[in-house]
Structure 1
Amino acid sequence: MPTDPRGLRADAPLLDAWLRFQEAAPTPFTIPGHKQRHDLVGDVIAGDVPLYAGLDTMKLSAGLLAEAESRAARLWGADVCRFSTGGATHANQAVALAVADDGDTVVVSRTLHRSMLLGLVLAGLTPVWVRPEVDPATGLPLGVAPDVVRRALDAHPHARAVFVGDPSYVGTVGDVAGLAEAAHEHDVPLVVDAAWAAHFGFHPDLPQHALQLGADVMVTSAHKTLPAWSQAAIVLARTERVDPARLEAGVEATATTSPAGAILASTDAARALLERDGADLLGSAIAATRGARERLHAVDGLTVLDGPGVDPLKLTVVLSAAGVDGNAVEQDLLARGLPVESADRDVLVAVVSLADTGETLGALTEAIVGAVERHRGPARAVVGPAAYGVEPQAVVPPRQAFFARAESVPIEHAVGRTSAELVAPYPPGIPVLAPGERITAGTLRALEHARDAGVRIAYAADPTLATLRVVVD
């Protein structure tokens, strides 16, 4: 199968520019300060070519970025495309700035990544939370039901947009077409954080991507399931319900003015590869993942997410019935050089991409099977991730709480106070607590559950949870 990256350059203007820069070996009098010398700090800076006075001229006179983004827009069927070197975090926050005005209300899935929730702070938006359904067999989230969104919009007729994440972190896929229909009945845009779905829509065994299903905006991470540099992301939009000028302004307001050319070039190259060889590469990876699932299904006590409502390239294993601690399994995998995306007491999540083969998945699968057999214990009841069981109690809008005077208090004194910070077990980065919400006993139980299950508590000023930052009364 052809995978020579130089063979992509004719269809990838930013990749071609990156290769030409390497071939020309110029002596730049521009940033970055390493000036392409590898003898100063080593090869850690290899390939670091800026967009300005690197891939293009300082004045962007060749228009290479615009051309690459135009090609991506055509491939995904969008009116507008922008590349991001700040990951889906930047893209989500740019969209938040684009779709509504300061003080407006928006309908938001509680399972969205913390980047979008901080986007609400930046844009001054007030969320109306909606929750996904939860699979009772695994305790893991499914999609947000369209009727839940309908009811939220009926109750808040001035809401300006609907924000959801799909697929979920664990790979479950919701009814995006139904969500788009519900949003459009109220003439508001549906924004989908599809960070984990850059491959959707490019093989018949995969779900269609969000724009194909009627969404107005889709944010996706090129670095998660496509072969792009870390921090590579794409925002794609149709402009019937989204102002392209506002979206452009949102992107520029939150982007670096020194974008890394290698990230941009890799995004362009990944798009060209997906267009040229995506179906073949994805087909092989899907077949290998199917084989891994079959092997794991055969192990007593393991539950493997599968079926039409699951991303065929996500390998999520529930360990409860085997009595295995996922943190112990993770340590065994790390010792074998096989890190996984996420591991806590009950669930392992492994990301598969078009770069994977039967050999890589076979090695991972056999290592998981061996670790499970070594660490078996009494079966446990299924307990879903803590974040999905907390019902948020909003006191003030997130922006108001974020900028309010705050103080740190011992966690035992925090109940009843208003949070000034966002606290989320990571991964997946779904908040248990957001700025402006009342801290309850249930909140603290959920955070302690996550910590005790071996999950890192992220974004809190005190990750040990000895204290929390609260709004000064």
Structure 2
Amino acid sequence: MSNQNKYIKAPLVEALVNYAERKDASFHVPGHKNGRVYQRLTETYQIFGSIAGIDATEISGLDDLHHPEGVIAEAEEKAARFFGAEATYFLVAGSTAGNLALILSVCTSPGDVLLVQRNVHKSVIHGLMLAGANAVFLGPQADTASGLVTIPSVETVREALRRYPGAKGLLVTHPNYYGMGGSLAPLAGLCHCSGIPLLVDEAHGAHFGLHPALPRSALSEGADGVVQSTHKMLSGLTMSAMLHVQGGRIDRKLLRQRLAMIQSSSPSYPIMASLDLSRGLLEAEGPSIFEEGLQYAGKLRQEIMRLRRFGVVDIQPAAGSRDLVEGDEYLYGYTTQDPFKVVIYDKYNQISGYKLQERLEQAGCIPEMSDSRYVVLALSLGTSLQDVERLLTALADMDEEVITEGQLTNSEGVCEASNKYVTSSGSEVNRDHRDNSPGEAVIPDHQKFSTWNIYSASAISTEVPFRMTPVREEETEKVSIYHTEGRVAAEMVIPYPPGIPLLYPGEWITPDIAGLLTKLYHAGAKCQGTADSTMSTLRVYKNQKVGAKQ
């Protein structure tokens, strides 16, 4: 991959380079004075000096992020044209800032209703709190093979819009952390027929639509507001992200004002420059910039599938016990897979996802994340063949451990010499049949608490209010984790990673969620947001209890 013969047009980067080369006398912030302070450090630490050389501020010629008229405005306009938006806003506080700004722009009065996919990032919940909004949670669709979930179904969204005609918008996460997704176009169509915007947290899909082998982007599917983490799957620095807007359903003047409220008045120029440079590099190289990375990702998938021990999560054509036919992509939530996200698991269930991540880290291969079952490997346009071969060597070494005296021992210590397995659907099958069905995951009951496996007895919740007012201690009580069903939660339960809340304050605890809470407790999962770190108890509101049936 080489761009030596191609001119990268990145106006903000060029302005910063010129600024650094001029070596002006600085009588302005920041205090390191173009990195001069770092010159007294040892050579090991002087790398900070090179970074600080472009760590500028809003002086003449470098524009202002919150009122762009010069090079930042030009850089944002170039990004909008490249990614297919009508307007693009640079973010220096990650996709979190974009999610907050979108919610604050569409929910402008306390009590406004926003339709929200049930398993969203905690930043969405914080946005609802800041806006004083009421959320109506929509249950996601489950991929029956992997047990992982994606976007809400068309039927769920249609019914939610019927029940809540005054909703201000629909917010979904696409793709999920595992690179899984479906078609957003029908959801956008439903929203637009109701006169509301479709908001998409596309943090993990900034690269979508930039190569024929990649899934379509949310913008191309009709989304009105899209947040992308340029640092996740492209080449921006950490915390760099973009917010794209199209159509007239989002007030752009208000959106710019909201962004100024939640982002620093002294934004990082290196972060902004990395956004400009990332777009410039992609534009100069074109789709070919992804070719090597896609080739290595394909090699990794193929080689893993040759191993006895490990499986790869992928789309199963026989979803719902039958082949997909025309139109079925609207019915199933898992019809697209990011080729750069390779999700692996131990087919024999001897190693949990957490343990597999630990073993890979010991071999010098650092995964993106893991849950009780799966490990997510995030490749990109920057992935090297050497890295892929190192990972394959580590997996091949573990593959040699899989068979001992012709018997297997599962994670609960049960010898499985009988050649039988219990699948994720609860049926018992022969090992030979299971090996030919890579989508059938062997998942013990106590492991079915993945953050993304949030099932609910009702696909559409009642309104859940979110406010900034702290929960008053005297209004709550602690109850045993075994007695939470039917109560109203007074705290948030966030299995981490990846930080997707399982339970929100003010939410009724359904039988399904109560069951998941006990599984979390027994599995010793790490959770944020709970007063009791052991998860043996949970805070709920006093004198608030609903029937088990919602």
Q: TM-score, normalization: structure 1?
A: 0.90
Identity among equivalent pairs (%)? 31
In 2, the alpha carbon distance for the partners of 1:39 and 1:452 equals: 53
Alignment partner of 2:362 out of 324, 335, 349: 335
Structure 2 residue 223 is matched with structure 1 residue 215: yes
Equivalence for 1:389: 454
Equivalence for 2:338: 311
Contact 2:101 2:262 in 1 (8 A): yes
Q: Structure 2: which amino acid aligns with 1:282?
A: F
In 1, the alpha carbon distance for the partners of 2:61 and 2:192 equals: 40
- The structure with more helix, counted as a fraction of residues: 1
Q: Structure 2: which amino acid aligns with 1:297?
A: M
SS of equivalent to 2:216? coil
Equivalence for 1:412: 480
In 1, the alpha carbon distance for the partners of 2:265 and 2:518 equals: 40
Cα 1:423–1:190 shift into 2, 3 Å: same
Equivalence for 2:120: 112
Structure 2 residue 466 is matched with structure 1 residue 399: yes
Structure 2 residue 13 is matched with structure 1 residue 15: yes
Equivalence for 2:528: 458
Matches within 5 A, 1:294-309: 294-307=302-315, 309=336
Structure 2 residue 115 is matched with structure 1 residue 98: no
Cα 1:57–1:64 shift into 2, 3 Å: closer
Which one has the largest radius of gyration? 2
SS of equivalent to 2:228? strand
Range with greater deviation from structure 2 (265-274 or 412-421): 412-421
1:422-453 per-residue CA deviation (whole Å, 9 max, x = no partner) reads: 32112222110112213467545424534665
Contact 1:320 1:346 in 2 (8 A): no
Q: Structure 1: which amino acid aligns with 2:93?
A: G
In 2, the alpha carbon distance for the partners of 1:313 and 1:184 equals: 31
SS of equivalent to 2:119? coil
Q: Give the C-alpha shift of residue 23 in structure 1.
A: 2.6
Contact 1:406 1:469 in 2 (8 A): no
Alignment partner of 2:388 out of 361, 366, 369: 361
CA RMSD of aligned residues (A): 2.9
In 1, the alpha carbon distance for the partners of 2:278 and 2:349 equals: 39
Q: Structure 1: which amino acid aligns with 2:71?
A: L
SS of equivalent to 1:82? strand
Equivalence for 2:426: none
Q: Give the C-alpha shift of residue 135 in structure 1.
A: 1.4
Matches within 5 A, 1:46-445: 46=49, 47-48=51-52, 49-53=55-59, 56=62, 63-102=70-109, 103-307=111-315, 309-374=336-401, 377-378=409-410, 381-382=442-443, 383=448, 385-391=450-456, 397-400=464-467, 402-406=469-473, 410=478, 412=480, 415=484, 417-439=487-509, 442-443=512-513, 445=515
Equivalence for 2:27: 29
Cα 1:155–1:356 shift into 2, 3 Å: same
Q: Give the C-alpha shift of residue 456 in structure 1.
A: 3.4
SS of equivalent to 1:400? coil
Range with greater deviation from structure 2 (119-128 or 319-328): 319-328
Q: Give the C-alpha shift of residue 455 in structure 1.
A: 5.0
Q: Structure 2: which amino acid aligns with 1:2?
A: S
Range with greater deviation from structure 2 (455-464 or 244-253): 455-464
Q: Give the C-alpha shift of residue 82 in structure 1.
A: 0.5
Unaligned runs of 5+ in 1: none
Q: TM-score, normalization: structure 2?
A: 0.78
Q: Give the C-alpha shift of residue 20 in structure 1.
A: 2.6
In 2, the alpha carbon distance for the partners of 1:334 and 1:67 equals: 42
In 1, the alpha carbon distance for the partners of 2:375 and 2:364 equals: 16
SS of equivalent to 2:339? coil
Cα 1:178–1:62 shift into 2, 3 Å: closer
Range with greater deviation from structure 2 (128-137 or 358-367): 358-367
In 2, the alpha carbon distance for the partners of 1:346 and 1:235 equals: 33
Q: Give the C-alpha shift of residue 368 in structure 1.
A: 2.8
Contact 1:83 1:235 in 2 (8 A): yes
Unaligned runs of 5+ in 2: 316-334, 403-407, 411-420, 423-441, 544-550
1:197-234 per-residue CA deviation (whole Å, 9 max, x = no partner) reads: 01111101111111111111111000000111101110
In 1, the alpha carbon distance for the partners of 2:69 and 2:463 equals: 48
In 2, the alpha carbon distance for the partners of 1:44 and 1:450 equals: 43
Q: Give the C-alpha shift of residue 344 in structure 1.
A: 2.8
Cα 1:452–1:361 shift into 2, 3 Å: farther
Q: Give the C-alpha shift of residue 149 in structure 1.
A: 0.6
Q: Structure 2: which amino acid aligns with 1:21?
A: Y
Equivalenced residue count is 471
SS of equivalent to 2:359? helix
In 2, the alpha carbon distance for the partners of 1:322 and 1:44 equals: 45
Cα 1:69–1:362 shift into 2, 3 Å: same
SS of equivalent to 2:375? strand
Range with greater deviation from structure 2 (61-70 or 278-287): 61-70
In 2, the alpha carbon distance for the partners of 1:471 and 1:395 equals: 17
In 2, the alpha carbon distance for the partners of 1:33 and 1:451 equals: 49
